[in-house]
Structure 1
Amino acid sequence: MLLDNVRELSAFSSDGKPFIYKNAHSVSLQFDNTAVQSEMYVAAPDALLLGYTVTMMGFLLFKHSPGTIAMIGLGGGSLAKYCYRNLPHAAIVVAENNPEVIALKDHFHIPEDDRRLQIRCQDGRDLVRDADSDYEILLVDGFDHTGQPPQLCSQAFYDDCYQALAPEGIMAVNLLGSRANMTHYLDRIQRSFDGAAIAVEALESSNMIVFACKGKSLEMPDQAIMNGLKDLELQHALLLRMTAQNILRQRRTDKLIAALHLSAAQLRAG
């Protein structure tokens, strides 16, 4: 279904089926007339338009040139296209469980499958459960018309995400919903990744992006992150500096909170 004016959009009820809304400047994928799932500039189809996608690319701060990337959720293919065009050494697999979403991919200029890109009609839960522990990057951005599917935010799912990653692999998860739910999901990620996780607010949105790692990649010193940022900014037209600053600020906050909890525990024990 293709809609091309505001009147049609405001009156349309899709019953949870994905549809395309197009105006002079952009094309968006939506499940209803209130929320945009993915958006693309007509003049720059490979650019990242939504702030949360830019923040998810913050994994580059810790791994500049990954060789294997897995994604859960295709949507309009924003992340898949960006990684395909700008990370030429990466082999990318995308799991999307809705064939109606995959059927709309030509509207978003998503490349055809080749030796570097595979788009599978598969539940993301199965992708990570059956993985061979070799993904350097895992991007979890799976939503349907009801929000975040239960199978993509369970403790078992995050356990499988950990196992699916290569040593020092990094996961970035897009969370959206009530603050209580997002905090609950963050707690699950922390348990699955033995505390190696950090949550930041997404740029220009109410989404929360959680970065987690299998190893110690997220402990990279502040100065090393900022030094690497100089090269990244030459290669990527992204607001990575803002994401880096948000991550470093949150790391300091998390350390302070942990220290306060430790002091309180010591006082109770003493």
Structure 2
Amino acid sequence: MSDPCIDISEEDGVRYLHFGSEWVQGAMRLRRPVDLELEYTRDMMAGLLLREGFSAEAQWPKRILLIGLGAGSLTKFCYWKLPQARVTTVEISEEVWTAASALFKLPPEDLRLSIVIGDGVEYMQRPSPKYDYILVDGYDEDAKVGLLDSLPFYQACWARLNDGGILATNLFGRAQKYAAPLKRLGEAFEGRSLALPPCASGNVVALATRGTPVALSGEELKARAVQLKASTGLDLRPLLKRMPAGAGLQL
């Protein structure tokens, strides 16, 4: 994969990252650099609603893996808002990492944050620790994901999750189909997957779980969303409003 052509734009107090095309690869509100500006990135954190105790006291999640850095939005959120977690981000382009560090306030590596420059598919084949939460958001300048959407890759994700672990993946961009990726994901996770309602941008985030089943009512989801907002500032109540009235989640 060649290095992307990186473009930066700003509008109404928001800085955007592009890979030489109209597709937005990341965004940061200058006055709130740790907040998740794009709707789909907020959806990517919906897995926090599925397990009780997303707090430093509860020590979950302890290990988070992100495939794809972009502007660093998800990496920053996990690092700053989930202080109990060790965060590893795999990014194929060193130029993207440089841009995120220089222009999007990505924190430097330390004992809790590790940035790996390499291919996410290859990384998943290496022996390494298991994770509680894996987030996959790796797109090129043409909004294509390559082998990050393949049955072997999803199977590798399943193998790298702890019991009770959660995968969140950004399935597609505007005007693309997601039925086939969702089928592959379900096959790898023994049917334990679902797609969240589409964002206004057209992105669809899918969740998948390993181990402990999840069965939450609509009221339980609302209560957890309130707790999550109080502890991290992330408001997932708009996501719940996009779901059918009173709908829960089973995974």
Of Structure 1 and Structure 2, the greater helix share is in 1
The answer to whether the aligner puts 1:20 opposite 2:8 as a matched pair is: yes
The answer to whether the aligner puts 1:62 opposite 2:55 as a matched pair is: no
Structure 2 residue aligned with 1:37: 25
Please give the per-residue CA displacement for 1:81-119, whole angstroms capped at 9, x wherever unaligned. 111111000100000001111121221000000000011
Q: Which amino acid letter does the alignment assign opposite residue 49 of structure 1?
A: E
State which drifts further: 113-122 or 196-205. Answer: 196-205
The answer to whether the aligner puts 1:165 opposite 2:161 as a matched pair is: yes
1:92 aligns with one of 75, 87, 92: 87
1:112-151 aligned at under 5 Å gives the runs: 112-132=108-128, 134-151=130-147
Structure 2 residue aligned with 1:267: none
- 3-state DSSP of counterpart to 1:103: helix
Structure 2 residue aligned with 1:262: none
1:1-270 aligned at under 5 Å gives the runs: 16-23=4-11, 25-63=13-51, 64=54, 65-105=60-100, 106-132=102-128, 134-177=130-173, 181-246=177-242
Distance 1:24 1:226 in 2: 31
Distance 1:202 1:180 in 2: 12
| Identity fraction in percent | 30
Please give the per-residue CA displacement for 1:33-85, whole angstroms capped at 9, x wherever unaligned. 41211011111111111100011111110132311100000000000111111
Report the count of equivalent residues: 241
What TM-score do the two structures reach when normalised by structure 1? 0.81
Task: Note the residue ranges of structure 2 that are not aligned, 5 or more in a row.
Answer: 55-59
User: CA 1:154 to 1:89, structure 2 compared with 1: closer, same or farther past 3 Å?
Assistant: same
State which drifts further: 85-94 or 223-232. Answer: 223-232
Asked if structure 2 preserves the Cα contact closer than 8 Å seen for 1:76 and 1:108, the reply is yes
Please give the per-residue CA displacement for 1:155-199, whole angstroms capped at 9, x wherever unaligned. 111110100111110000001147664110000000000000010
User: CA 1:20 to 1:243, structure 2 compared with 1: closer, same or farther past 3 Å?
Assistant: same
Asked if structure 2 preserves the Cα contact closer than 8 Å seen for 1:133 and 1:166, the reply is no
Q: Which amino acid letter does the alignment assign opposite residue 52 of structure 1?
A: Y
